[in-house]
Structure 1
């Protein structure tokens, strides 16, 4: 079984090495596909040829995607973008090859296991959805569009990633910020301080800065990322996807991309968004009224809450009404201890161990590598790239490096985050950042456990896309549990564990603002869906976004801002941002079992690992959830959470 550092070496290598690896992967894939088309014999042997050919292509494609977002060298990032395009071309060729489709359809899988039958049925459906059964002219145009879309998506992402803006402010604008933040932003020679639109800068600033004018200035800059470059890029992205969908017989890209998800259709996604928005309406009105009341304490003439007030006012309300001081909690969340605590929790719950590999090649000195073992056996490898730097992916996500396969390859993946970095001062996290760390680690755990299926094509996080966030959202629940936090959240100076009373105040404070949060998410989901749900010739993107903001968002549009141009999900997720809330509905139901049995109950965690995580995409997600819950999931737990 492959357990070496091949993927990591390539991720930390040169453009030439990446180009050669791309050529080799393409040759392996094409050769395997040609063998598959001509081969006869045992069904399992034929499927293995097919699976390995696609794995050669897919694994490098996933790795190249990560390299393009993480490598500090522009030449390597550019080479990774080029590799993605070349690999996607071959993947498109395979998806449109009728001989491959017919050879796969001809395999008699009736005598094989249910997971294999499910995987083959899904794969055949994806061939049909790709247009394999269309005429030559249609397939040729599909190929052109698929290749063009890869480049457009890369442009959209690159324009966001490279667009870090800076607010130049007087030192007085840092009033209210923590001492370590102030020390990290000393005045320049001109006597002014500089605050960027990177997350470790902007999130604390919007939360704590008492200067509303400075908050507005930075917030507006944040809303301008990707402008104006992404105006034309996003238009092309929407237009080409619509053309592709209609070419394949669908009324819209939204219908095409939702068809193979749990939700099943664009109309169902729209209904779901409206349902959640309606359920949250009363909470939204109450939340906004509370924020306005608090704002009037400082400005009696205030008539509305502005979006740059939201985080600041919520923090003030939580401090004053719930006696919760988020700054007082930060000293208990020193980055290194949070990381160690999260790993310890994962080890305890799921019966694994993490071992640091100092000998692993890495693409940046900040990156850490760990082997993941279970019962003394190596089952995966993870890489943590956790701190911001220029031209790096500027949000937080798990990226696949290798899709595992039982007895052949171990799964590997990387977390790319932008959490504060330890330096002269310790890196103290906000609770939201701790939740983000747990969330992304949930994806990592899912990928590792699901990387041991019979076929690479059904392993990893290959379940329906609108389920993949549920395991990550579930893991966030442990960040609100006092006994769990007490195991690692200790004051970085005194070593005292976080007081249970402080965690209880956190839990009470977390109940506030749900209406704003949910409606903001539904606004994002509506933008995502509606931009892809209609003919692009019939609407203007900015105008449609404005209409959706008025209908769903907690705050009205601010003229001169262009949030959608830095909404990176419009590329990767396209029409299905609704999946975050759909998954949360399921996650809240999954959590009912842990609430009943105990958050640190190892037997429950093991049953969850084996029933939900380990199967990967070997069965429908609803079936995996049913196996764990002993019933179908319901809306009840989510509604109880929202109304609590």
Structure 2
């Protein structure tokens, strides 16, 4: 214990000013380590004291969504009239942003409620509001009158009030949204464009549904000794996943081949999705859907993305080859079959085995040191050190919440006061949206009276609830997820943009993940972890040697994992390139897999039909890798020596987080690093992070 304390004290200089951690939890940590108590703040009908969901008075009950959507529509009509008026006195971009803010405040709230509210009537009312407002948005995006006003202002460079660089950039972003809706096209082409857009949405949603569907087959199709390893339904076997963590090689092989067997319906849906996206892009004047999707992003062009991915692949390949050799050696020693070749279904299982053998660690061993309360303490340490911001628990008002298990936090700056609010919906419950995500309820923006509209977000996770005297305990992966999502939240909290259209995470996809990937690095740094990793019962700190082993184990086989991401990223580029569907999507996947992975493609399978991000991210799947590269370069250059460095934290806030999407990403990164960022820089940063 004394040795560890001396070690922690020695780290204080390296950490850049962090204070010695004590075992007693703060009020914030205590709240998150407690079993959620029933709250009067949970929505309930008929109460005169009900202040409404998110303190929106209309949302005292579900019919409030109808009032909100009509009120928003009427306000938008007035704003459109103002935009078209020859006597207009405000900048056109200011009016457009007010239109956007009016719709987003209702639509974003409704979208979240539709996914997560436990009350069916509330969810249904929210869904009706989402559909209704989507039609309002579609009508606006095809309104040629307001489009022409905006276009004229941007082409002339003159408005009723002089415009600055931010006004012009945001105005062009609004114009691009119009262009994406085909507003600039002739009537005939516009009709075609709308039909294609509807088809893309419909087929994309259907493809997503199929990505997670179980496979059912007669049980006599499997050897008898394997069929009982899966769920049985009468004479059929149900296989709902890869089973990649199963100890038996034959079980993993059977599950992989069956689960990834080409589903003809998925093949047709993906083909239709890709083809209609290409038609949309070419109709709008782009060479490919990838060119359309990457306009205005950090990467800018598909060619730059492929150069980045190929350069990264070349650097990662020799490291990955060494990792494959380690895993093959393990397989030869431990395999339950006679197969002497490393297969796709082997990687996850033998990677976990390799980590355990080398460092003798398991999630069960580490989780008691990572109670949710302790991890929230860790977040507070990082945020206080970097930005002088603390997370403070706020007592919610009656009717403000949708579940007893939700906590409301204020992000409070030492001198600037409250920056915004974060609702933490962190525990699993029936009917709740399963993805970990950051949802914007209200974006920040400058208001007409000079005040600032404070941002409101929800962090959605699916952790296990505290039970009896045991708080929620996080695995290493869940710890990283928590820090990742709070990276998004702080992007929203610290943003101080003029317009809500570009606030916080409303920026190019390949830049939006930079703050979250950056925060995730803190959850893997031994110096930071040592400040909050304590046993939830005894308060004993996790020994530094164990922390270092924990971090090293997390980084093992990182090159192989990166190759997987390169395959998916390259697949999304090729599918959305200039000549899509020159060959079948399965042939394309096999070709890319064999080029970029160190294990052979499994004949007769189509894993790409399970990649849901091909719908949601389209040609931007590379965004995670590029964002991680940027975050790693910022870490290497500015934080590696002193992770909790206030000077660099303030620079990151001032030069990056504050601006959201109102400044091009390349300019933000250049201001932070004080130099332009190249492909070689990004690749070097990722490889260096792996080596660290």
Superposed pair shares fold, TM > 0.5: yes
Cα 1:386–1:219 change in 2 (3 A) is farther
Deviation at 1:476, TM superposition (A): 1.2
Q: 2:382 maps to which residue?
A: 345
The CA distance in 1 between the partners of 2:592 and 2:120, in whole Å, is: 37
Asked if the contact 1:383–1:414 (Cα under 8 Å) also holds between the matched residues in 2, the reply is: yes
Asked if 2 retains the 8 angstrom alpha-carbon contact of 1:10 and 1:18, the reply is no
1:14 Cα offset (Å): 6.3
1:33 aligns with 2:80: yes
Q: Contact 1:514–1:642 at 8 Å: present in 2 too? A: yes
1:515 corresponds in structure 2 to 559
1:401-426 Cα deviation digits (max 9, x unpaired) = 11121325221112222333333554
Aligned length: 610
Q: Structure 1 residue 13: deviation in Å? A: 7.2
- Residues 217 and 527 of structure 1, relative CA distance in 2, 3 Å threshold: same
- From the superposition, tell whether residues 553 and 336 of structure 1 become closer, same or farther in structure 2 (CA, over 3 Å): farther
Other-structure match for 1:438 = 483
1:20-46 alpha-carbon deviations (Å, 9 max, x no partner): 4333323322331222121534444x4
1:456 is aligned to 500
Of the three residues 400, 405, 412, the one matched with 1:361 is: 400
The runs of 5 or more residues in structure 1 that have no matched partner are 174-186, 189-193
Contact 2:61–2:122, Cα closer than 8 Å, also in 1: yes
Does 436-445 or 304-313 show the bigger shift? 304-313
SS at match of 2:410: strand
Query: How far apart are the structure 2 equivalents of 1:304 and 1:389?
Result: 42
1:115 pairs with 2:135? no
Instruction: Write the distance in 1 (CA, Å) between the matches of 2:644 and 2:58.
Output: 36
C-alpha change, 1:40 and 1:304, in structure 2 (3 Å) is farther
After TM superposition, give the deviation of residue 100 of structure 1 in Å: 1.3
Q: 2:463 is paired with a residue of what secondary structure?
A: coil
* 1:222-301 alignment, distance < 5 Å: 230-299=266-335, 301=338
Map Cα deviations across residues 119-177 of structure 1 (whole Å, 9 max, x no partner). Answer: 22333344345433221222232233334444444444455578799xx9xxxx9xxxx
Deviation track 1:451-490 (CA, whole Å, cap 9, x = no partner) reads x321122222222221111111111111122232122211
Check if 1:409 corresponds to 2:409.
no
Q: Which deviations, in whole Å up to 9, do the C-alpha atoms of 1:526-563 show, x marking residues without a partner? A: 22222222555544334433333333345444567654
Match of 1:142 in 2: 193
1:314 aligns with 2:351: yes
Preserved CA contact (<8 Å) 1:350 1:606: yes
Cα–Cα, structure 1 residues 13 and 152, in superposed 2: closer, same or farther, change >3 Å? farther
Residue 487 (1) aligns with residue 527 (2): no
Secondary structure of the equivalent of 2:419?
Answer: strand
CA deviation string 1:201-243 (max 9, x = no partner)? x9xx855x5445565677678768x977755544443233222
Residue 633 of structure 2 aligns with which residue?
A: 589
Q: Contact between 1:85 and 1:147, CA under 8 Å: does it hold in 2?
A: no
What is the CA–CA distance in structure 1 between the aligned matches of 2:675 and 2:52, rounded to whole Å? 42
Q: Does structure 1 retain, via aligned residues, the 8 Å contact 2:271–2:581?
A: no
- Give distance in 1, aligned partners of 2:191 and 2:633: 45
How many angstroms does 1:113 deviate by?
3.4
Q: Deviations over 1:587-622 (max 9, x none)?
A: 111112443551112222122112110111121111
Q: Which moved more, 1:274-283 or 1:213-222?
A: 213-222
Describe the superposition over 1:173-217 as per-residue Cα deviations: whole angstroms up to 9, x where unpaired.
9xxxxxxxxxxxxx99xxxxx9986xxxx9xx855x544556567
Within 5 Å, give how 1:536-615 maps onto structure 2: 538-558=582-602, 563-595=607-639, 598-615=642-659
Greater mean alpha carbon deviation, residues 555-564 or residues 234-243: 555-564
Q: Report what 1:528 is aligned to.
A: 572
2: distance between equivalents of 1:553 and 1:83? 45
Structure 2 residue 137 is the aligned partner of structure 1 residue 91: yes
CA distance 1:253–1:310, shift in 2 (3 Å) = same
- Greater shift, 322-331 or 568-577, is seen at 322-331
Q: Whose RCO is larger (CA < 8 A, sep 6+)? A: 2
Q: Take 2:505 and 2:471, find their aligned partners in 1: how far apart are those partners? A: 34
Equivalent position SS for 2:439: strand
- In structure 2, relative to structure 1, the CA distance for the partners of 1:213 and 1:419 (3 Å cut) is farther
Query: In structure 1, how many angstroms separate the alpha carbons of the residues matched to 2:570 and 2:204?
Result: 20
Report SS of the residue matched to 2:523: helix
Structure 2 residue 672 is the aligned partner of structure 1 residue 628 = yes
| Stretch of structure 1 that moved more, 474-483 or 100-109 | 100-109
The 1:641/1:152 distance shift into structure 2, 3 A limit, reads same
Looking at structure 2, the residues matched to 483 and 531 of structure 1 have their Cα atoms a distance apart, in angstroms, of 43
User: SS of the residue aligned with 2:618?
Assistant: coil
Give the Cα–Cα distance (whole angstroms) in 2 for the partners of residues 43 and 106 of structure 1. Answer: 15
Q: 1:55 to 1:150 in 2, by over 3 A?
A: farther
Residue 6 of structure 2 aligns with which residue?
none
**Is the Cα–Cα contact under 8 Å of residues 400 and 412 in structure 1 kept in the other structure?**
yes
TM-score for both structures, normalised by structure 1: 0.84
Is the 2:141–2:178 Cα contact (8 Å) retained in structure 1? Answer: yes
Let me know the Cα RMSD of the aligned residues.
3.6
- 1:74 Cα deviation (Å)? 5.7
Structure with greater Cα Rg? 2
Q: Secondary structure of 1:417's match?
A: strand
The answer as to whether partners of 1:381 and 1:412 remain within 8 angstroms in 2 is yes
- Judged with a 3 Å threshold, the aligned counterparts in structure 2 of structure 1 residues 468 and 37 are, in CA distance, closer, same or farther, namely same
Give the equivalent residue in structure 2 for 1:191: none
Structure 2 unpaired stretches of 5+: 1-50, 220-225, 233-237
Note closer, same or farther for the CA distance 1:87–1:278 as it changes in structure 2 (3 Å cut): farther
1:383 corresponds to which residue? 423
Inter-partner Cα distance in structure 1 for 2:480 and 2:73: 39
Q: 2:519 aligns with which of 467, 470, 475?
A: 475
TM-score normalised to structure 2 length: 0.79
CA contact (8 A) 1:441 1:472 kept: yes
What SS does the corresponding residue of 1:280 show, helix, strand or coil? Answer: helix
Q: How does 1:64-103 map to 2 (within 5 A)?
A: 64-73=110-119, 76-77=122-123, 80-103=126-149
- Counterpart Cα distance in 2 of 1:218 and 1:90: 46
CA shift, 1:286, in A, is 1.2
